[in-house]
Amino acid sequence: MSGSKIDAVDEIRARIRTHGIDPVPDNQQVLHLVEDVLDGEDFSQVSRVMEQVAGFGALQPFFDDQSVEEIWINEPGRIFVARAGKSELTPVVMTAQDVRSVVERMLATTGRRLDTSNPFVDAMLPDGSRLHVAIPDITGAHWAVNIRKFTAQTHSLESLVGRRTLTEQSAIFLQACIAAGLNIVVAGATQAGKTTLMNALLNCAPAHERIITCEEVFELQLESPDWIALQVRQASLDGTGEISLRRLIKEALRMRPSRLVVGEVRQEECLDLLIAMNSGMPSMCSLHANSARAALAKMCLLPMLAGSNVSAEFVIPTVATVVDIVVHIALEPGGQRQVQSIASVTGRCEGNIIEMGEVFALNDGRLSLTGAYPARLDAFTARGIDVAALLGSASWD
């Protein structure tokens, strides 16, 4: 940007401070200021200055581009985006100061901090996008920035069927699993579509259910009329005030939930979730795993991070008896997100091996019935669901 434009940006920012304008909600007021200062300039110049004072600078066009799913910065001259699951290097070049300024602007509304004592930050932007930043000396010479954009979420299983993430029959089965109050684990790699799938599953829950969600950063967007969302809190500058996922789960159980949801299980909070499931609380969570079998193995490992007094002899049988359904979803090389497997846990284990069977599995690129029946038939029957008729169904209720 030329020197005159830099002066204009400085003047506009000074006026914004003088008038006490918040650039995010008061976007139109900022536009009027820009047009006043840049009197006579063409639209492209006004747009560029707006990006600097009310948007996110050189990154703003990617926020405006609905086809962009994710934006990340490896260094100021290497900025990437992802479209339809595929990454591409952009021609955008920023300076190190530009990157810092944009990140500071993003964090201004989040209440989260970033400094040498706290070199990572995970936050949600005003538009719902998720921001993660790591700074030196954790990284090398440059700030590493990742923005997972909030896109128009797919909120129903029907829409996932339309996008070929699920087949109609498998979607009907999962809808019945939700109605039956089964405990469901959604597994997959980063960007596989776990959150989108969880959103769609939870929106199948009966309207009378009270759903409590616990997340590191708010990502789930439910349509339930009775939904409370909880988010962890980082420690303050003096090291106090931290609220962990474990604490959220314990507090959520005091809030009269009908269904407990943990956005992503990563560490010892898995123990608290298993205990909640074991008490009869219908629950759902997601975790990183590359298969349904690997997801169960991880759920057996994570609770033992809670302390040496938590043993495999307790955890493995507990996982076997409380987890009912594991859904594995993956991002295909071509960018298609597709459910690979829907497995039912039988409740039995042999040594360290939990018995499970696939109700649906990928066959020639299509999610198909295997012939196996799910366990917990009593839960389906209690809610008037005929599993035999359901697995032969070919249309929505």
Q: Which among 265, 343, 291 is positioned nearest to 187, based on CA atoms?
A: 291
The answer on 309 and 214 residing in a single domain is yes
Run means of pLDDT, 10 residues per run, the chain, 397 residues: 60 71 64 70 64 76 89 95 90 92 85 83 85 93 92 78 93 95 96 93 94 92 94 80 93 96 95 95 96 96 93 95 97 90 94 93 91 91 91 55
Give pLDDT, residue 166: 94
Q: Which residues contact 115 (CB under 8 A, 6 or more apart)?
A: none
Structural domain range at position 240? 157-391
Beta strand 259-262 with 211-215: parallel, antiparallel or unpaired? parallel
- How many CB atoms are located within 10 Å of the residue 241 CB? 10
Give pLDDT, residue 327: 98
Give pLDDT, residue 26: 64
Give pLDDT, residue 394: 46
In a domain, 397, yes or no: no
User: Which residue in this structure is represented by tokens 């219908």?
Assistant: 282
The answer on 115 and 212 residing in a single domain is no
Give pLDDT, residue 396: 41
In a domain, 75, yes or no: yes
Say whether pTM exceeds 0.85.
no
SS3 12: helix
Give pLDDT, residue 21: 65
Q: Which residues contact 255 (CB under 8 A, 6 or more apart)?
A: 210, 212, 228
The domain boundary, picked from 79, 113, 148, lies at: 148
CATH of the domain at 105: 3.30.450.380
The answer on 115 and 164 residing in a single domain is no
The answer on 189 and 115 residing in a single domain is no
The answer on 34 and 66 residing in a single domain is yes
Query: Which one-letter DSSP state was computed for residue 374?
Result: P
The answer on 305 and 175 residing in a single domain is yes
